[in-house]
């Protein structure tokens, strides 16, 4: 009798029927050729399917590109540096200058630059009633020193409104204040990680000029300018704790005043002091609070004390880097947030006013303001250093007008210098970009000014005005280029993404036919549409209807053409139904996806995405448990409920691993690292990788054992290979943690090489050995053929080996028959899981193990609830939810700062392209990658093995399988593309929102990145892997 | 981990397992008793509950622990009156069959002691009935507190309620929810394993008891939605919105469950015809 390993019950007769079919197959000699044909057909259809997914990826890339082009305006970072030896003019009329001066004669030897974070302009001027505010608030008139000195000694001090370019966050502001450029969300620089400023800047120029620079206060400076500050005198303070009003300020005071004492005065040239108390008081209490008044008073005293301690050759600058809104927060671009104050003071008395009406500081911030970037050329020229190369600011008039306000000669000189440098920068920028759009339209202003100067006019003020015009126009044009949203481009991108989603919805959920059948016409129409579109786009560029570049235009029109082509195929298919769910599961999938997508319109739901995902996953688990209770057989019921409970508990367990984003405070406690201020693991967390090594392979074995599939390569792969890889990973992370602790008798170089070797070993095991094994391994079945004289049953043998002669009365025992496809394909998940785990911190390895376990539980739930064979959308959607959920559980957030750049150095010692970005992607998007790999399993796990029915030539189980895989993969993409579309739309819609740069923009970038990664992983590994697993199964069981 | 069937695709066997296999008449839906009081109070009860929620809402916001704790006796009282007055206790319906319009042919009570409301009730029979119903009510109350409350508290935590803090609030919230949902269920169905399998499978026919229980859970689910919003309202604190949602859901559920066009219908996860349709 033919016995199979499956439990008794309804399976046995079907097993028999299968064997009969197999037997029938062997009888027919021509079956062999049919098998060959089927194999070829399968391979070509599979390739076609990949083509469909490549087209989807193409649509996504075009859509994201067009939206990004209009939304995330990027600016190239030029690495050119100004230097004393190369003045900005071609001619070198340097005769009048002294030798030790640079481009311009310096006015001061030393400078103290005090930044009072969030010092709004109206804090510094006397309260003036207007229609908005009738009586003085607590923040008024509490820091009078700036205004008083500017009034009483105008030659010694001036006070001006100092307007920031949004985003008004300290980091972006410091960039602007030191480089003189405009901020954009992304400065496309060359450095791979971190925030270090690559561009030419004040600090670098001071350093190059041999000045000894001291920094006190906010530690953001150290991230921006590592290595420029005097080690002994500099004192950075943590800037994160906004609840603490005094530590930073008192710390700065404690260290700044000793430096002003005569015996220490020679130890430094420039001091940057950054006070945070005002900012923190604003964040914590808001501006109209006694704490703010007290803080401003303290600042007032501090400034007076510094003033009394400086000598004649020292310039004192006090400024705010941004303002604050009515609640005391900042980041956006409202007036209150961008209005800061600038005050300069010296005992020398060289400041002046050119007009009598400008003697008094402006009453309101919107009068006679200067842009913050003006600080850069002003400070450079006052201190006798070159103007940083990328500067767009202008020298501040008051600082160069001379005590009597009539030193036009000096004003023209400094403005000519600044203008020439701007011109040089614009030229270099245009050259490296390859177009001269902005440069040529502005050259006219420059030439006007030059001509006026050549004409040797009596009144130099017109020359001065001409140079100013050039500078301000350039600034205006650049601001337009770098800070303006291009709405048509954004709309084009959204339209492409939307069309892609509509087609994907019909392809994934509306199409009733075999998806492999329409691949042929689909691809040819798409190809035709793309080619026509590309040609049309090129023509439009050539005849100058559009101003796009050739490549961009042809990509856009190719996308549009292919969308039309695809629609013509999909919507003309007979078997199209309205893609509405018809079961609770389908509705659940829709509700999860749509409600989360809508939630991204709110900053709260974006911030708390991790909790929402947990909520959804638990909902799914509970519904799965309830549904399992309805199942007919006790086995299905018990197993279904058991796995549902496991699923929910694992999700809740994983949710304990958190890395909080700033906005989640104070309702969140980070557990991912040893403490909220460190990025190292706690000692107990190092035990996690070892636990994973012990437990995870056993758990997987349990799932394989359930269908008696722990056969063939499974034992070697899971029990030995995977476990070995996990063990090496554990050792790696222990060594990583020991680094710098001097516990081992090895120097850190040796330790580093050992670590790199171990890491490469694991990656080699996962990817090199793992992939080879995946390509050539047999399915996880064991087939025993035994002689049995008693049973006169028909014989069975493998159809693929016709050479063997049939033996009569044979018993065939097949172990692992029930889950042939699933267990074979799951090897790919194990490979990726190992590699991703290596790239995670110990805590992340624990959660990744939970993820793998949860994926297996999900698959069992799908099986016991008959959701594998019915191609329900819930499987891929829950996988997508799991991927998103575990993104947050591996120490990430939807912020740029949560990217774990250091993981690029796990298996490498230096940055190597393209590997380093790939490694960081493996760390960042590991969970989404792993779930993407598992997507085919939602239709393969315990899929009944079907053989070609000899009576029905049209039944092609392998193609049906392929079609189901395509449907699952398309559904999975559907989730991420919906998220991507909505985050894109919300970011575009809320582009003036206060939280754009902190919340919506990062979430949009994450959505776009995840979608691209998921698409690529599905094409290259997940759907592609189905080819080899199916081939390997078919080799044993026939087509 | 049952091995899947080896059935070829033509036999769409697996889907048959997903349809509830129980004969529908075995455990009929629970009807509100036919007495005047029962019919009247079954409508008044939800109104009282909702007005209680509205009346005590501000004090719940001010001091949730104290208020929720002090509300429990009132809730217990109201629910006891409701179940005893309006619902047949477990086992009373064993032989009785409910007619389609929900009126009972037989009034509850020990079989030989049945009386009709139309006869006019004497005090003694009334007292006997109350005493006879008090035992199942007290038993159900005990089971609600001992089993249902911890189960619901566990579910709350699994859905994301704080694990290390707010334990008292979680338990109070679970107790309120259990009194709303589980108490009538236990009173009406006892510990009949088959019915409870139907309850866990959400395949009970719709009635006031099951509708109320399902409504409580769904209401609590929706109640969690406003919590993350940054409106800075004191009522957004856990678990106020959840509990409010549960109360509203309970009232809606028990009313809808009794509605003529819903009563007796069962929740379908997969449509009956789904076995032929491969896409959902």
Q: Degrees (nearest 5) of the Cα angle A842, A843, A849?
A: 90
Mean pLDDT lowest among A152-161, A170-179, A333-342, B126-135: B126-135
Mean pLDDT of A1026-1032: 92
- Residue A548 has a pLDDT of 79
Query: CB-CB: which of B4, B271, B279 is closest to A509?
Result: B279
pLDDT digits (tens, 9 = 90+) for A508-553: 998 888 888 888 889 999 999 999 999 999 999 888 877 778 888 9
In contact, A71 and A485? CB cutoff 8 Å: yes
Please give, rounded to a whole number of angstroms, the shortest distance from the CA of A2 to a CA of chain B. 14
Please judge whether B229 and A602 are an interchain contact, meaning their C-beta atoms are less than 8 angstroms apart: yes
- Residue A9 has a pLDDT of 34
- Residue A13 has a pLDDT of 39
Distance CA B8, CA A1034 (A): 16
- Residue A432 has a pLDDT of 78
Q: Give percent of chain B above pLDDT 70.
A: 76
| Residue written as token pair 């991790």 | A610
- Token digits for A491? 């709309």
Mean of the per-residue pLDDT values for chain B?
A: 79
pLDDT digits (tens, 9 = 90+) for A447-486: 888 888 888 787 888 889 889 999 998 888 887 777 667 8
pLDDT digits (tens, 9 = 90+) for A101-139: 678 888 999 999 999 999 999 999 998 887 767 788 888
Measured N-to-C along each axis, helices A957-989 and A487-505 cross at an angle, to the nearest 10 degrees, of 150
Please judge whether B228 and A604 are an interchain contact, meaning their C-beta atoms are less than 8 angstroms apart: yes
B279 in contact with chain A, both atoms CB, cutoff 8 A: yes
Distance CA A536, CA A159 (A): 58
| Residue written as token pair 């906004």 | A242
In contact, A1030 and A958? CB cutoff 8 Å: yes
pLDDT digits (tens, 9 = 90+) for A583-614: 899 999 999 999 999 999 998 999 999 999 99
Q: Which of the four pLDDT bands, split at 50, 70 and 90, describes residue A740? A: low
- A chain contacts of residue B21, beta-carbon cutoff 8 Å: 632
Mean pLDDT of A319-324: 91
Helix (H, G, I), strand (E, B) or coil at B17: helix
Query: CB-CB: which of B158, B202, B224 is closest to A652?
Result: B158
Return the CA Rg of chain A.
Answer: 35
Please give, rounded to a whole number of angstroms, the shortest distance from the CA of A630 to a CA of chain B. 5
Q: Which of the four pLDDT bands, split at 50, 70 and 90, describes residue A99? A: low
In contact, A379 and A317? CB cutoff 8 Å: yes
* C-alpha A1018 chain-centroid distance: 20
- Residue B144 has a pLDDT of 93
| Residue written as token pair 């399992």 | A628
In contact, A999 and A607? CB cutoff 8 Å: yes
Please give, rounded to a whole number of angstroms, the shortest distance from the CA of A743 to a CA of chain B. 35
Please judge whether B9 and A957 are an interchain contact, meaning their C-beta atoms are less than 8 angstroms apart: yes
- A chain contacts of residue B197, beta-carbon cutoff 8 Å: 629
- Residue B89 has a pLDDT of 86
* Residue (of A793, A871, A965) closest to A15 by Cα position: A793
Query: What chain A residue is nearest to B21 in terms of C-alpha separation?
Result: A632
Please judge whether B200 and A626 are an interchain contact, meaning their C-beta atoms are less than 8 angstroms apart: yes
Distance CA A96, CA A103 (A): 11
In contact, A518 and A567? CB cutoff 8 Å: no
Please judge whether B224 and A615 are an interchain contact, meaning their C-beta atoms are less than 8 angstroms apart: yes
Q: Which of the four pLDDT bands, split at 50, 70 and 90, describes residue B6? A: very low
- Higher-pLDDT residue of A781 and A559 is A559
Query: Which residues 599-658 of chain A have a CB within 8 Å of chain B?
Result: 602-605, 607-608, 611-612, 614-615, 618-619, 622, 625-627, 629-633, 635-636, 639, 648-649, 651-652, 655-656
Please give, rounded to a whole number of angstroms, the shortest distance from the CA of A635 to a CA of chain B. 7
Helices (H) and strands (E) in chain A, counts: 37, 13
- Residue A789 has a pLDDT of 53
Question: Which phi-psi region, left, alpha or beta, contains residue A368 (left: φ > 0; alpha: ψ -120 to 50)?
Answer: left
A978 in contact with chain B, both atoms CB, cutoff 8 A: no
In contact, A526 and A518? CB cutoff 8 Å: no
- A chain contacts of residue B19, beta-carbon cutoff 8 Å: 630, 632
Query: CB-CB: which of A583, A605, A947 is closest to B274?
Result: A583
Pairing state between β A110-116 and A270-275: parallel
For chain A, how are helix, strand and coil distributed in percent, rounded to 5? 60, 5, 35
Residue B211 in this model has a pLDDT that exceeds 50: yes
In contact, B212 and B254? CB cutoff 8 Å: yes
Query: CB-CB: which of A11, A611, A630 is closest to B160?
Result: A611
- A chain contacts of residue B8, beta-carbon cutoff 8 Å: 14, 17-18, 21, 944, 946-947, 949
Query: Phi and psi (nearest 5°) for A889?
Result: -90, 0
Please give, rounded to a whole number of angstroms, the shortest distance from the CA of A337 to a CA of chain B. 21
Mean pLDDT of A887-897: 89
Mean pLDDT of B269-274: 68
Within 8 A by CB and 6+ apart from A268, the residues are: A110, A212, A213, A214, A230, A233, A259
Residue A328 in this model has a pLDDT that exceeds 60: yes
In contact, A215 and A239? CB cutoff 8 Å: no
In contact, B34 and B114? CB cutoff 8 Å: no
- The CB density around residue A762, as the number of other CB atoms within 10 Å, is 24
- Residue B112 has a pLDDT of 40
- Residue A798 has a pLDDT of 43
- B chain contacts of residue A872, beta-carbon cutoff 8 Å: 280
pLDDT digits (tens, 9 = 90+) for A803-821: 444 445 678 888 888 898 9
Distance CA A1036, CA A1029 (A): 11
Q: Which of the four pLDDT bands, split at 50, 70 and 90, describes residue A677? A: low
B230 in contact with chain A, both atoms CB, cutoff 8 A: yes
Q: Which of A53-57, A208-212, A711-715, B16-20 has the highest mean pLDDT?
A: A53-57
Residue B279 in this model has a pLDDT that exceeds 60: no
Q: Report which secondary-structure segment, H or E, holds B144.
A: none
In contact, A396 and A386? CB cutoff 8 Å: no
Distance CA B97, CA B106 (A): 8
- B chain contacts of residue A866, beta-carbon cutoff 8 Å: 14-15, 17-18
List, in sequence order, every residue forming a beta bridge with A235; answer none if it has no partner. A216
Q: How many CA atoms lie within 13 A of A924 on its CB side?
A: 23
Query: CB-CB: which of A602, A630, A707 is closest to B3?
Result: A707
List, in sequence order, every residue forming a beta bridge with A316; answer none if it has no partner. A112, A345
Please judge whether A582 and B8 are an interchain contact, meaning their C-beta atoms are less than 8 angstroms apart: no
- A chain contacts of residue B12, beta-carbon cutoff 8 Å: 869
- Residue A953 has a pLDDT of 55
- Residue A1009 has a pLDDT of 95
Mean of the per-residue pLDDT values for chain A?
A: 85
- Residue A1024 has a pLDDT of 93
- Residue B4 has a pLDDT of 37
- Residue B152 has a pLDDT of 95
- Token digits for A981? 């579309």
- B chain contacts of residue A611, beta-carbon cutoff 8 Å: 160, 228
Query: Which residues 668-707 of chain A have a CB within 8 Å of chain B?
Result: 703, 705-707
Query: What chain A residue is nearest to B267 in terms of C-alpha separation?
Result: A584
Query: CB-CB: which of B4, B10, B157 is closest to A942?
Result: B4
In contact, B1 and A707? CB cutoff 8 Å: yes
Query: What chain B residue is nearest to A18 in terms of C-alpha separation?
Result: B6
Mean pLDDT of A14-42: 63
Residue B9 in this model has a pLDDT that exceeds 50: no
Residue B5 in this model has a pLDDT that exceeds 50: no
Please judge whether B270 and A583 are an interchain contact, meaning their C-beta atoms are less than 8 angstroms apart: yes
Query: What chain B residue is nearest to A706 in terms of C-alpha separation?
Result: B1
Please judge whether B21 and A656 are an interchain contact, meaning their C-beta atoms are less than 8 angstroms apart: no
The one-character DSSP state at A708 is T
| Residue written as token pair 């070159």 | A386
**What is the side-by-side strand order in the sheet with A3-4?**
A3-4, A810-815, A782-787
Interface mutation vs chain A, best among B12, B19, B20, B160, most A CBs within 10 Å: B160
Distance CA B143, CA B161 (A): 24
Distance CA A585, CA A591 (A): 10
The one-character DSSP state at A324 is -
Residue A566 in this model has a pLDDT that exceeds 60: yes
- Token digits for A97? 């200058």
Q: How far is CA A662 from CA A242, A410, A666, A893, in A?
A: 10, 48, 9, 10
Residue A379 in this model has a pLDDT that exceeds 90: yes
pTM of the model: 0.76
Distance CA A439, CA A437 (A): 6
| Residue written as token pair 């008004």 | A168
Q: Which of the four pLDDT bands, split at 50, 70 and 90, describes residue B109? A: very low
Peptide bond into A22 cis (omega under 30): no
Please judge whether B6 and A960 are an interchain contact, meaning their C-beta atoms are less than 8 angstroms apart: no
Peptide bond into B239 cis (omega under 30): yes
A329 in contact with chain B, both atoms CB, cutoff 8 A: no
Interface mutation vs chain B, best among A9, A630, A699, A704, most B CBs within 10 Å: A630
Q: Report which secondary-structure segment, H or E, holds A799.
A: none
Set out the domains of chain A in order of their start, with CATH numbers. Answer: 3-72+489-512+577-1037 (no CATH), 107-183+194-407 (3.40.720.10)
Q: Which of the four pLDDT bands, split at 50, 70 and 90, describes residue B114? A: very low
- Residue A214 has a pLDDT of 94
Q: Which of the four pLDDT bands, split at 50, 70 and 90, describes residue A984? A: very high
Return the CA Rg of chain B.
Answer: 21
Tell me the torsion sign for CA atoms A445, A446, A447, A449: positive
Helix (H, G, I), strand (E, B) or coil at A782: strand
Query: CB-CB: which of A603, A703, A947 is closest to B230?
Result: A603
Q: Report which secondary-structure segment, H or E, holds A514.
A: none
Residue A631 in this model has a pLDDT that exceeds 50: yes
Distance CA A861, CA A856 (A): 9
Q: How far is CA A709 from CA A18, A235, A705, A822, in A?
A: 19, 63, 6, 10
């Amino acid at each position: 009798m033919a016995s199979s390993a499956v439990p008794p019950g309804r399976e046995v007769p079907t097993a028999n029927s299968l064997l009969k079919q197999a037997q029938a197959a062997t009888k027919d000699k021509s079956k062999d050729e049919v098998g060959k044909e089927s194999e070829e057909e399968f391979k070509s259809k599979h390739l076609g399917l990949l083509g469909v997914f490549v087209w989807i990826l193409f649509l996504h890339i075009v859509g994201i590109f067009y939206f990004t082009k209009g939304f995330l305006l990027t600016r190239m970072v030029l690495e050119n540096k100004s230097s004393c030896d190369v003045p900005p003019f071609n001619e070198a009329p340097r005769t009048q200058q002294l030798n030790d001066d640079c481009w311009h004669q310096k006015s001061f030897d030393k400078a103290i630059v005090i930044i009072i974070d969030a010092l709004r302009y109206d804090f510094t001027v006397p309260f003036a009633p207007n229609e908005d505010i009738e009586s003085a608030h607590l923040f008024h008139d509490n820091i009078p020193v700036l205004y008083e000195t500017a009034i009483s000694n105008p030659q010694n001090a001036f006070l001006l409104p100092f307007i920031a370019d949004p985003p008004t966050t300290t980091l972006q502001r410091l960039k602007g204040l030191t480089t003189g450029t405009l901020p954009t969300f992304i400065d496309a620089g060359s450095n791979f990680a971190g925030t270090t400023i690559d561009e030419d800047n004040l600090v670098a120029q001071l350093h190059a000029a041999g000045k000894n620079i001291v920094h006190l206060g906010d530690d953001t400076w150290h991230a921006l300018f590592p290595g420029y500050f005097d080690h002994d005198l500099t004192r950075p303070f943590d800037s994160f704790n906004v609840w603490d009003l005094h530590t930073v300020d008192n710390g700065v005071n404690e260290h700044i005043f000793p430096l002003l004492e005569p015996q220490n005065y020679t130890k430094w040239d420039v001091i940057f002091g950054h006070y945070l108390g005002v900012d923190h008081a604003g964040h914590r209490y808001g501006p109209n609070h006694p704490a703010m008044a007290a803080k401003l008073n303290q600042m007032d005293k501090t400034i007076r004390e510094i003033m009394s301690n400086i000598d004649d050759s020292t310039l004192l600058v006090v400024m705010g880097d941004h303002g604050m809104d009515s609640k005391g927060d900042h980041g956006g671009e409202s007036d209150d947030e961008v209005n800061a104050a600038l005050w300069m003071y010296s005992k020398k008395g060289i400041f002046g006013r050119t007009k009598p009406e400008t003697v008094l500081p402006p009453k309101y911030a919107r009068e006679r303001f200067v842009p913050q970037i003006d600080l850069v050329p002003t400070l450079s020229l006052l201190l006798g250093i070159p103007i940083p190369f990328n500067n767009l600011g202008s020298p501040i008039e008051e600082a160069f007008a001379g005590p009597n306000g009539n030193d036009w000669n000096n004003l023209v000189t400094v403005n000519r210098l600044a203008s020439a440098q701007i011109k040089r920068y614009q030229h270099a920028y245009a050259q490296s970009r390859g177009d001269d759009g902005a440069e040529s339209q502005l050259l006219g202003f420059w030439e006007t000014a030059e001509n006026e100067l050549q004409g040797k006019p009596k009144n130099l003020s017109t020359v001065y005005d001409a140079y100013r015009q050039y500078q301000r126009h350039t600034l205006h044009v650049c601001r337009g280029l770098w800070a303006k949203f291009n709405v048509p481009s954004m709309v084009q991108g959204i339209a492409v993404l939307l069309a892609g989603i509509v087609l994907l919805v019909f392809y994934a959920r509306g199409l009733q036919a075999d998806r492999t059948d329409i691949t042929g016409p689909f691809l040819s129409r798409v190809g035709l549409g793309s080619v026509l579109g590309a040609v049309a786009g090129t023509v439009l560029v050539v005849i100058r209807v559009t101003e796009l570049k050739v490549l961009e235009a042809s990509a856009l029109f190719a996308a549009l053409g292919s969308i039309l082509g695809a629609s013509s195929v999909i919507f003309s298919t007979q078997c199209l139904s309205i893609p509405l769910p018809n079961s609770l599961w389908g509705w659940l999938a829709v509700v999860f996806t749509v409600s989360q997508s809508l939630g991204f319109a709110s900053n709260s739901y974006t911030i708390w995405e991790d909790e929402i995902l947990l909520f959804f996953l638990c909902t799914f688990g509970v519904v799965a448990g309830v549904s399992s209770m309805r199942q007919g057989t006790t086995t299905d019921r018990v197993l279904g409920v058991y796995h549902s409970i496991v699923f929910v508990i694992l999700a809740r367990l994983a949710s304990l691993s958190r890395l909080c984003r700033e906005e989640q405070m104070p309702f969140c406690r980070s557990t991912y690292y040893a403490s909220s201020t460190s990025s190292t693991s706690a000692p107990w967390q190092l035990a996690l990788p070892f636990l994973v090594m012990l437990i995870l392979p056993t758990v997987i074995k349990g799932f394989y054992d359930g269908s008696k599939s722990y056969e063939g390569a499974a034992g070697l792969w899971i029990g030995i290979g995977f476990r070995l890889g996990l063990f090496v990973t554990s050792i790696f992370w222990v060594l990583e943690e020991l680094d710098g602790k001097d516990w081992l008798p090895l120097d850190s170089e040796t330790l580093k090489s050992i670590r790199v070797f171990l890491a490469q070993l694991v990656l080699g095991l996962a990817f090199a050995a793992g992939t080879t094994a995946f390509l050539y391994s047999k399915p996880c079945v064991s087939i025993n053929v035994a002689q049995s004289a008693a049973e006169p049953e028909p014989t069975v043998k493998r159809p693929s080996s016709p050479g063997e002669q049939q033996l009569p009365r044979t018993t065939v025992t097949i172990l692992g028959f029930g889950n042939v496809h699933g267990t074979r394909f799951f090897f790919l998940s194990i490979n990726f899981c190992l590699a991703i785990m290596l790239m995670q911190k110990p805590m992340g390895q624990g959660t990744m193990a939970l993820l793998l376990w949860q994926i297996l539980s999900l698959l069992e739930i799908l099986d016991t609830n008959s959701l594998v064979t019915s191609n329900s959308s819930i499987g891929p959607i829950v996988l997508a939810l799991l991927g998103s959920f575990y993104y947050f559980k591996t120490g990430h957030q939807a912020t740029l700062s949560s990217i774990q750049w250091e993981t690029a150095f796990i298996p490498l010692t230096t940055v190597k392209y393209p590997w380093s970005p790939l490694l960081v992607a493996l760390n960042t998007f590991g969970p989404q990658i792993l779930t993407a790999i598992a997507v085919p399993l939602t239709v393969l796990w315990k899929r009944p093995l079907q053989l070609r029915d000899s009576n029905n030539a049209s039944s092609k189980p392998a193609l049906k399988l392929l079609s189901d895989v395509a449907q699952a993969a398309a559904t999975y993409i559907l989730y991420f593309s919906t998220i991507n579309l909505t985050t894109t739309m919300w970011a575009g819609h809320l582009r003036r929102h206060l939280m754009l740069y902190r919340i919506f923009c990062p979430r949009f970038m994450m959505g776009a990145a995840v979608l691209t990664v998921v698409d690529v992983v599905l094409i290259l590994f997940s759907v592609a892997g189905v080819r080899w697993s199916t081939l390997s199964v078919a080799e044993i069981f026939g087509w | 981990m049952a091995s899947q069937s080896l059935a070829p695709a033509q036999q769409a066997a697996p889907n048959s397992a997903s349809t509830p296999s129980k004969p529908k008449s075995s455990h009929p839906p629970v009807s509100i008793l036919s007495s005047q009081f029962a019919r009247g109070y079954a409508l008044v009860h939800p109104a009282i509950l909702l007005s209680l929620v509205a009346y005590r809402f501000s004090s719940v916001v001010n001091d949730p622990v104290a208020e929720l704790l002090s509300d429990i006796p009132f809730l217990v009282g109201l629910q006891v009156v409701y179940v005893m007055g309006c619902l047949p206790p477990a086992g009373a319906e064993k032989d009785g069959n409910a007619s389609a319009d929900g009126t009972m042919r037989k009034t509850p009570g020990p079989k030989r002691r049945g009386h009709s409301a139309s006869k006019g009730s004497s005090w003694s029979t009334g007292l006997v009935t109350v005493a006879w119903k008090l035992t199942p009510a007290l038993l159900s109350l005990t089971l609600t507190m001992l089993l249902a409350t911890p189960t619901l508290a566990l579910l709350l935590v699994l859905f994301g309620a704080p694990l290390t803090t707010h334990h008292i609030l979680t338990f109070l919230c679970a107790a309120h929810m259990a009194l709303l949902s589980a108490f009538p269920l236990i009173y009406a169905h006892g510990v009949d394993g088959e019915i409870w399998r139907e309850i866990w499978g959400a395949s009970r026919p719709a009635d006031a008891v099951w509708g109320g229980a399902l409504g409580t859970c769904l209401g609590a689910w929706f109640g969690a939605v406003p919590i993350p919003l940054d409106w800075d309202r004191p009522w957004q604190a856990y678990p106020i919105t959840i509990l409010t949602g549960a109360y509203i859901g309970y009232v809606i559920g028990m009313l809808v469950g009794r509605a003529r066009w819903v009563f007796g219908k069962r929740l379908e996860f997969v449509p009956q015809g789904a076995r032929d349709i491969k896409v959902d």
